[in-house]
Chain A
Amino acid sequence: MSSLFPLTVEGAETRRRGKTLVGPVSMTLTGAGATVVVGPNGAGKTTLLRLLHGAARLNAGSIRWAVPTEQAQEAQAFVFQRPVMLRRSVVENLIYPLRLRGTPRKAAAAEAEAWAARVGLSDMLHRPATVLSGGEQQKLAIARALIIKPQVVFLDEPCASLDGRATAEIESILQDTKAAGTHLILSTHDMGQARRLADEVVFMLHGRVHETSAAAAFFDAPETAPARAFLNGDIVT
């Protein structure tokens, strides 16, 4: 499959009832490793991710992948801040996206079990997904996103409400995913997580992208004053 990257965003904007939530945003993502979107609450991280994924309305500008949009969407998956669990068992949740794509049931079940093992959910294959703990649900959501072998996975603050151990487990899954060549576009307000995962950082404030830099450069010497203040832990308004 040909690569989705580079992703070119030009003047992209999304509005809701006349109010601009995000934009205009212009940037180019080359698709190396992980892109981490940082910024204070309400900066528009979630909205930007949804916009890039095609789940928020593009009111102005353009978002172009290197392949036709439909093909690009087939190769993407999205993990929400609050995991959405289908009211089915763990294994049925994993099988679902494969069945949508026409994978035969047997093959899908085998694949599902392999993924459950990879994220440490083997013991609860037949438990209803809705009774899992927050960390288990998020791991299931990530496995369900990865099972279709996407080229790009969007993750919206995947560890926002999880404890240290669950966060560590999820980061390790994400590191493996990255190593396997899947591009991550992840938002977080946890600077430690950003440092651990990012190859490229997008800094957002008030619905605008203020900075797009290589991770090392960003954490060493951010170009803009708000980004410097944000990294210092100051309250950015």
Chain B
Amino acid sequence: MTDLWSGLSQAFWLVVTADAELAEIALRSLHVTLTALVLGCAIAMPLAALLAVRRFRWRRTVIAVLNALMGLPPVVVGLVVYILLSRSGPFGVFGLLFTPTAMIIAQMVIIIPLIASIAHQSLRDLWQDYHDLLISMNVTQWQKIRTLLWDARRALLTAALAGFGRGIGEVGAIMIVGGNIDNATRVLTTAIALETGKGDFALALALGIVLIGLTIAVNLCIHWLGQTEREGRW
């Protein structure tokens, strides 16, 4: 109980005094996950749309693989990305290991299947609705994809939120590829793991509260973005 209480008050003071270290860690968390989210969406959503509109031989297999990859254990993703980026690995020359870039790559691998899977489900339903009309209008593949992505944007926002939630709270992969280096790759989740390990529960709790606050804030922001859209609900 005392831990919880002192954690809360410490978190309060860290936030109101705009603690420099806390701000840096929180901003790094946001930077890593939002970058992974934007890049991940740019890949996952067109992929989902393509899977919805295009019949090709391996379509079902690709969808099944995507669904399976949704449950990929982050630690394993971290391990694989680590091996690929390590000095002796195929991408070792870029020297990305233990940098935020490595963390972004690992998070992208984790959230792309999740976003693509959720997005694909709603795009597929919309495509069933639109199929006859768009075929009759002779639209090109590219126009189909653009139309679906635009008209399903609310559902896609939900998919993006799920991706953000998975990324911001993820610790296994970024711990491995980032290394939790102070001032370089330490983010909220890895800092929590570290402080908990050191027995500093109050600070760990404070960081946890900031993490939750951040998550809620971003969710509200995105939700509000969706609400203020002029064209009503679908």
B132:A55 contact, CB within 8 angstroms = yes
Nearest first, the 6 A-B pairs at minimum CB distance are: A84-B133, A78-B136, A87-B151, A87-B234, A128-B232, A73-B138
Complex: how many Å from CA A128 to CA B133? 18
Complex: how many Å from CA A74 to CA B138? 8
List 30 A-B residue pairs with CB atoms under 8 Å apart, sorted by A's residue number. Answer: A53-B136, A55-B132, A55-B135, A74-B138, A77-B136, A78-B132, A80-B132, A80-B133, A84-B129, A84-B130, A84-B132, A84-B133, A86-B130, A86-B133, A86-B147, A86-B151, A87-B126, A87-B151, A87-B234, A88-B151, A88-B231, A89-B231, A96-B147, A97-B137, A100-B137, A100-B143, A128-B231, A128-B232, A128-B234, A130-B234
| Residue-wise interface mask of A (78-93) relative to B, using a CB-CB cutoff of 8 A (1 in contact, 0 not) | 1010001011110010
B222 within 8 A of A: no
Q: For the side of the interface on A, what is the size category? A: 20 to 34
B139 within 8 A of A: yes
A55:B136 contact, CB within 8 angstroms = yes
Chain B residues with CB under 8 A of A88: 151, 231
Chain A residues with CB under 8 A of B151: 86-88
A32 to chain B, nearest CB (A): 24
Q: Which residue of chain B is the closest to A70 with respect to CB atoms?
A: B138
Complex: how many Å from CA A96 to CA B135? 14
Chain A residues with CB under 8 A of B138: 73-74
Q: For the side of the interface on B, what is the size category? A: 10 to 19
Complex: how many Å from CA A82 to CA B139? 20
Centre residue among B138, B143, B234 by max chain A CB count within 10 A = B138
Centre residue among B129, B136, B151 by max chain A CB count within 10 A = B136
Q: Which residue of chain B is the closest to A74 with respect to CB atoms?
A: B138
Chain A residues with CB under 8 A of B129: 84
Q: Which residue of chain B is the closest to A128 with respect to CB atoms?
A: B232
B139:A100 contact, CB within 8 angstroms = yes
Q: Which residue of chain A is the closest to B233 with respect to CB atoms?
A: A128
Chain B residues with CB under 8 A of A127: 232
B232 to chain A, nearest CB (A): 5
A78 to chain B, nearest CB (A): 4
List CB contacts (< 8 Å) of A52-107 with chain B. Answer: 53, 55, 73-74, 77-78, 80, 84, 86-89, 92, 96-97, 100
Chain A residues with CB under 8 A of B233: 128
| Residue-wise interface mask of B (121-148) relative to A, using a CB-CB cutoff of 8 A (1 in contact, 0 not) | 0000010011011011111000100010
Chain B residues with CB under 8 A of A86: 130, 133, 147, 151
Q: Which residue of chain B is the closest to A148 with respect to CB atoms?
A: B137
Complex: how many Å from CA A78 to CA B213? 52
Chain B residues with CB under 8 A of A96: 147
Complex: how many Å from CA A126 to CA B130? 20
